[in-house]
Amino acid sequence: MNTNTGKSKPVKLHRPDQIKAYLDKYVIGQDEAKKTLAVAVYNHYKRLIHKDEAGSKVKIDKSNVVLLGSTGCGKTYMVKKIAEYLDVPCYIQDCTKITASGYVGSDVEDCLVGLLRACNYDMESAERGIVILDEGDKIARKEAGVSITRDVSGECVQQSLLKLAEGDIVGVPPFGGRKHPEQPLLYIDTTNILFILSGAFVGLEDIVAKRIGADTRRIGFRDADAPGSNISCLDDVRPEDLREFGMIPEFIGRFPVITHVDPLDREALKRILTEPKDSILSQYRELMRMDGIEFDIDGEVFDLVADEAERLGTGARGLRAVMEKLMRDVMFDAPRDAALHGASALTLHRDAAQKSLGKVLRKAE
């Protein structure tokens, strides 16, 4: 396997405020998570760029990150956008597929193979990339007494990831899969790869609430009118909470930065439809423009879409699912009408949207 031996482009180091400003164009809210990620990424690549400066005798450790929060709230999206802004490769590894070596499933080294693929096997670029360990809560240690068999998809995976997260020279099969004695390997140094452990960590908030003596019925994103309702127990997550959840101390020690995303309420869902760059509305407008149609959506429709997406409980992903169902008939008829009658303008109003969503809801029931 031939690796790219050309000179890699240097990392585009941007200040934390610049990174957050870039994220603000694409992600609604999540200010605390944006700031934490921006600082962690900035320090990581500043450390990488200046590590060989003359006179520097201080060894700076990596700032690997734990990113907590509900599905569909922008965890992996934010990291991907940061990687895009800094022009570094990024790979998302689904932790549910990883098992201990020798068992059915993927080896931990597969995340490095994916990172190599993401940069066309440019070793230098890969060694300064970002790996997102998605669904990281799924590798939590199982409770004692559940099984007498080896925990091959939980604690064993955490143990296997220790050296990768801290920094080691790892041999990986160039095309993934299992290693075997006669197979040539590529050796990649993970010292300067930033690892971000992402997951919903369902139940962690209750662990934190129990530690701080909070009433879980009142703390969290539950009652918008209650005093302190904008406070989440995840604001106070500590390493000991993650240990109780099932992460081993050695593993958590490799991830010193902990932050979380907030659940998306109805207003945030409405804003996501229209405000971000490449918003869902702008995408549909562009699709219609290709057929010569100037398309728009009445503001009241967004209320219906946000309500239905909130009911689904899948965050921003629910918005796309609702919009696809809502737009099916429009996208079916509009190209034909444009071909027969030429360019036109089309606005989707509340009555038509309500009719479409009513059909969807009746089918779901």
Instruction: Answer yes or no: do 90 and 198 share one domain.
Output: yes
**pTM for the predicted model, two decimal places:** 0.83
What's residue 218's pLDDT?
A: 47
Indicate if 339 and 228 belong to the same structural domain. Answer: no
Mean pLDDT of 85-90: 94
Residue of higher predicted confidence among 225 and 115: 115
175 and 321 both lie in a single domain: no
pLDDT band with cut points at 50, 70 and 90 for residue 12: confident
pLDDT digits (tens, 9 = 90+) for 318-359: 898 888 888 888 888 888 888 887 778 888 888 878 777 775
Within a domain: residue 5? no
Please tell me the predicted confidence (pLDDT) of residue 93: 92
Lowest mean pLDDT among 19-23, 212-216, 315-319, 353-357: 212-216
Q: 221 and 270, same structural domain?
A: no
**Residue span of the structural domain in which 283 resides:** 266-364
230 and 327 co-located in one domain: no
Q: How confident is the model at residue 39 (pLDDT cuts 50, 70, 90)?
A: very high
Residue 97 pLDDT > 90, yes or no?
no
pLDDT in tens, 99-112: 766 566 677 888 89
* Confidence check: pLDDT of 154 > 90: no
How do residues 167-179 score in pLDDT, each as one tens digit?
989 888 877 666 6
pLDDT over threshold 70, residue 242? yes
The DSSP code for 141 is P
Phi-psi region of 212 (alpha: psi -120 to 50; beta: other; left: phi over 0): alpha
On whether both 348 and 297 belong to a single domain, the answer is yes
Long-range contacts of 32-36 (CB under 8 A, 24+ apart): 32/235, 32/259, 32/260, 32/262, 33/67, 33/69, 33/74, 33/75, 33/78, 33/259, 33/260, 33/261, 33/262, 34/78, 36/65, 36/257, 36/259
Is residue 364 very low, low, confident or very high in pLDDT (cuts 50, 70, 90)? Answer: very low
Same domain flag for 36 and 178: yes
Supply the pLDDT for residue 223. 44
pLDDT band at 224 (very low <50, low <70, confident <90, very high): very low
* Together in a domain, 272 and 243: no
State the DSSP code for 76: H
Report the DSSP beta bridge partners of residue 47.
none
| pLDDT in the model for residue 226 | 43
Structural domain total, the chain? 2
Tell whether 129 and 55 lie within a shared domain: yes
Confidence at residue 225, expressed as pLDDT on a 0 to 100 scale: 44
User: What tokens were used for 40?
Assistant: 């962690």
pLDDT at 185 over 60: yes
Supply the pLDDT for residue 260.
93
- Of 211, 228, 260, the last residue of a domain is 260
Nearest to 100 by CA among 36, 145, 150: 150
Helices and strands (DSSP H and E) totals, the chain: 14, 9
Residue 232 belongs to some domain of the structure: yes
Looking at the chain, the whole-number percentage of residues with pLDDT higher than 90 is 36
Domain check: are 55 and 159 in the same one? yes
pLDDT of residue 230: 44
Distance of CA 275 to the CA centre of its chain: 20
Model pLDDT, residue 365? 41
Write the CATH number for 55. 3.40.50.300
Counting residues of the chain whose pLDDT is more than 70, the rounded percentage is: 82
319/184: higher pLDDT: 319
Paired tokens of 334: 């509009």
